[in-house]
């Protein structure tokens, strides 16, 4: 019995020693896992970066669209860059009736509270495949249209211009680079700006902005042939060519803005460099015209109108109708009255065309720069039928006028044309007008999914009259019969865009 008792006591003691040893070897208890926390300071979709007080939101979208009589993102044929203008319907081989675009983009928005207010950085980038811009279905184009920092009232980086009261993209699918839409920077531009908050929703901004996004050509007539779409080194295209006069100063923007529950309103002004280079291309001793300064002034408002349907739409946005107007008048600053890149050419068949040249100014040997005059207005209204359906209607108008000396420089002393073509009869007058009317209807069957159609009518009224047999000025003239007369006449075009877009930001 004593033996059994001893064995039991010995075993218990041994077990206690072993257990104590094992307990001493156990690791220190791990700290709880720090899970990602929702950040509600800046709205839906933000969360804290673990271990910091910075909130971040990731977003993006996939967009697929089909375009009829438009290209490169909805620009009506003949009213955009050479890729669209080349589809002037002269021949079957130079025309796409239908084009496509597929786009994928991502965004990053990071914000942090500081003693100076919110510190924010934002970037957006992506890739797309577009006809007729990309060579094949396997070609893609990468892009980035936003990359800016905001801190203590300062905004620096690539973003929307402070001149723009609102973007026409709120109301239309067709490319926001409308012919008479001064919201000219949907792809963003680099700027250095300071905004002072004056209280009660009123703010004032002073901004120095990259002029490349706004510049049109300053043409030197007589140095070399002034032809349709001339981008030679005789022109001040800034980054567009290697022989320009350089950037004397950035565009200077001033804006006074009010943001209220009823909407927003803004007045703005801009100063723009419209100087030419030397009278003889690149030859310093030939002299140059005096520096020329373009300007633009404008106003805009966007009003929220009551809608007596449901309290919010399918994306939880306020259920309101909207009406907006933006107008600008300028001299030597065409990039503020239109974002059309020019030159423009609308053709009908093989015999008739409307052509237009948009430049900031014209000069010849021994003359100063003659600045162009222009003005534009854009108006739009959007109605929310139900939380899932909305329709907008919009219209814009652009007028560009060359004064007498500028017209004489362009047309020559005989008035029959000295710009790369010769009128066989009629009137040489470079003035032109453009007006557009469109409507977009969008369906949101579920949150963050947009399905819609945008129909646009565009008309180009030219002041040229008569006929010419010269084909060099027409982008789509390669397949035309030689010697067939072309007459100048007002032209129009209907374009349609279908779009499906899935947004994957909250």
Q: Do the Cβ atoms of 237 and 185 come closer than 8 Å?
A: no
Residue 399 has pLDDT above 50, yes or no: yes
Q: What is the DSSP letter of 342?
A: S
Query: Looking at residue 94, what is its pLDDT?
Result: 60
| CA angle, residues 288, 290, 294, in degrees to nearest 5 | 125
Query: Looking at residue 416, what is its pLDDT?
Result: 52
CA atoms within 13 A on the CB side of 220: 25
Section 252-266 average pLDDT: 96
Residue 232 has pLDDT above 50, yes or no: no
Which residue from 338, 340, 333, 298 is spatially nearest to 162, judged by alpha carbons? Answer: 298
Per-residue confidence at 81, pLDDT binned at 50, 70, 90?
low
- Tally of residues, the chain: 506
Residues with Cβ < 8 Å from 183, sequence gap 6 or more? 160, 164, 165, 166, 167, 168, 169, 176, 326, 339, 378
CA distance 347 to 349: 6
Does the domain made of 58-503 have the CATH classification 2.40.160.10?
yes
Q: What is the DSSP letter of 355?
A: E
Contacts 24+ apart (CB under 8 A), 145-149: 145/186, 145/187, 145/188, 146/107, 146/122, 146/188, 147/122, 147/123, 147/188, 148/121, 148/122, 149/119, 149/120, 149/121
pLDDT in tens, 96-108: 788 899 999 999 9
Query: Looking at residue 223, what is its pLDDT?
Result: 59
Which region among 77-81, 273-277, 501-505 has the lowest average model confidence (pLDDT)? Answer: 77-81
Section 438-448 average pLDDT: 94
Q: What is the DSSP letter of 45?
A: T
Contacts 24+ apart (CB under 8 A), 40-48: 41/111, 41/113, 42/111, 42/118, 44/506, 45/505, 45/506, 46/109, 46/111
Query: Residues of 395-409 as b/e, b for ≥16 C-beta within 10 angstroms?
Result: bbbbbbbbeeebbbb
Q: Write the DSSP assignment of 54-88 as a string of letters.
A: -EEEEEEEEEEEEEESEETTTEETTSSSHHHHT-S
pLDDT in tens, 260-318: 999 999 999 999 998 888 887 767 888 888 999 999 999 999 999 987 655 455 555 55
Query: Looking at residue 18, what is its pLDDT?
Result: 45
Give percent of the chain above pLDDT 70: 71
Query: Residues of 145-158 as b/e, b for ≥16 C-beta within 10 angstroms?
Result: bbbbebeeeebbbb
CA distance 435 to 150: 37
Residue 205 burial by CB count (10 A; 0-12/13-18/19+): exposed, middle or buried? buried
Section 366-386 average pLDDT: 92
Section 330-354 average pLDDT: 76
CA distance 125 to 148: 12
Residue 228 has pLDDT above 50, yes or no: no
pLDDT in tens, 173-224: 876 444 544 455 567 889 999 999 999 999 999 999 998 778 777 877 765 5
Q: How far is CA 339 from CA 80, 84, 105, 415, in A?
A: 9, 15, 23, 29
Q: Is the peptide bond before 291 cis (omega within 30 degrees of 0)?
A: no
CA distance 156 to 193: 6
β-bridge partners, 401 = 373
Provide Rg for the chain, Cα atoms: 30
Higher-confidence residue of 480 and 434: namely: 434
Residues with Cβ < 8 Å from 136, sequence gap 6 or more? none
Query: Looking at residue 222, what is its pLDDT?
Result: 62
**Bridging pattern class, strands 217-221 and 359-364:** parallel
Which residue from 352, 387, 363, 488 is spatially nearest to 431, judged by alpha carbons? Answer: 488
Q: How far is CA 235 from CA 129, 212, 272, 358, 408, in A?
A: 31, 14, 16, 13, 18
Longest dimension (CA), the chain: 138
CA distance 122 to 55: 12
């Amino acid at each position: 019995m004593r033996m059994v008792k001893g064995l039991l006591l010995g075993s218990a003691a041994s077990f206690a020693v072993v257990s104590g040893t094992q307990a001493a070897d156990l690791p220190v208890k791990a700290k709880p896992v720090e899970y990602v926390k929702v950040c509600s300071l800046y709205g839906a979709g933000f969360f804290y970066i673990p271990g910091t007080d910075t909130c971040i939101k990731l977003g993006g979208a996939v967009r697929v669209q089909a375009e009829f009589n438009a290209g490169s993102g909805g620009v009506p044929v003949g009213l955009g860059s050479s890729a669209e203008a080349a589809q002037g319907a002269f021949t079957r081989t130079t025309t796409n009736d239908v084009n496509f675009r597929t786009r994928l983009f991502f965004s990053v928005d990071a914000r942090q509270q500081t003693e100076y207010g919110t510190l924010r950085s934002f970037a957006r980038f992506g890739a797309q495949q577009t006809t007729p811009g990309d060579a094949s279905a396997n070609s893609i184009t990468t892009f980035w249209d936003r990359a800016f920092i905001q801190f203590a009232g300062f905004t620096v980086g690539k973003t929307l211009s402070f001149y723009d009261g609102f973007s026409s993209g709120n109301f239309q699918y067709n490319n926001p680079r409308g012919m008479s839409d001064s919201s000219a920077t949907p792809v963003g531009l680099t700027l250095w700006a300071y905004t002072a908050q004056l209280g009660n929703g009123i703010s004032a901004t002073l901004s120095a902005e990259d002029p490349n996004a706004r510049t049109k050509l300053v043409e030197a007539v007589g140095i070399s042939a002034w032809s349709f779409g001339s981008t030679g080194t005789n022109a001040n295209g800034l980054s567009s060519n290697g022989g320009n006069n350089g950037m004397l100063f950035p565009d200077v923007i001033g804006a006074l803005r009010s943001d209220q529950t009823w909407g927003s309103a803004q007045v703005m002004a801009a100063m723009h460099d419209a100087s030419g280079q030397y009278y003889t291309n690149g030859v310093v001793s030939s002299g140059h015209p005096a520096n020329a300064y373009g300007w633009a002034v404008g106003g805009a408002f966007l009003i929220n109108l009551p809608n007596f349907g449901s309290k919010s739409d399918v994306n939880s946005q306020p259920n309101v109708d909207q009406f907006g107007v933006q107008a600008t008048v300028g001299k030597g600053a065409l990039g503020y009255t239109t974002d059309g890149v020019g030159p423009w050419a609308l053709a009908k068949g093989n015999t008739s065309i409307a052509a237009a040249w948009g430049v900031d100014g014209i000069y010849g040997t021994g003359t100063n720069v003659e600045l162009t005059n222009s003005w534009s207005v854009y108006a739009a209204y959007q109605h929310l039928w139900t939380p899932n359906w909305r329709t907008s209607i919009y219209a814009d108008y652009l007028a560009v006028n060359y004064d007498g000396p500028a017209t004489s420089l362009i047309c020559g002393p005989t008035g029959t044309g000295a710009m790369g073509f010769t009128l066989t009869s009629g009137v040489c007058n470079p003035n032109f007008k453009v007006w557009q009317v469109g409507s977009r209807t969008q369906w949101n069957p579920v949150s963050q999914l947009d399905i819609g159609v945008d129909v646009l009518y565009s008309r180009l009224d030219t002041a040229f009259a008569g006929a010419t047999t010269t084909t060099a000025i027409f982008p789509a003239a390669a397949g035309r019969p030689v010697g067939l007369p072309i007459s100048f006449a007002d032209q129009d075009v209907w374009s349609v865009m279908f779009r499906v877009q899935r947004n994957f930001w909250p």
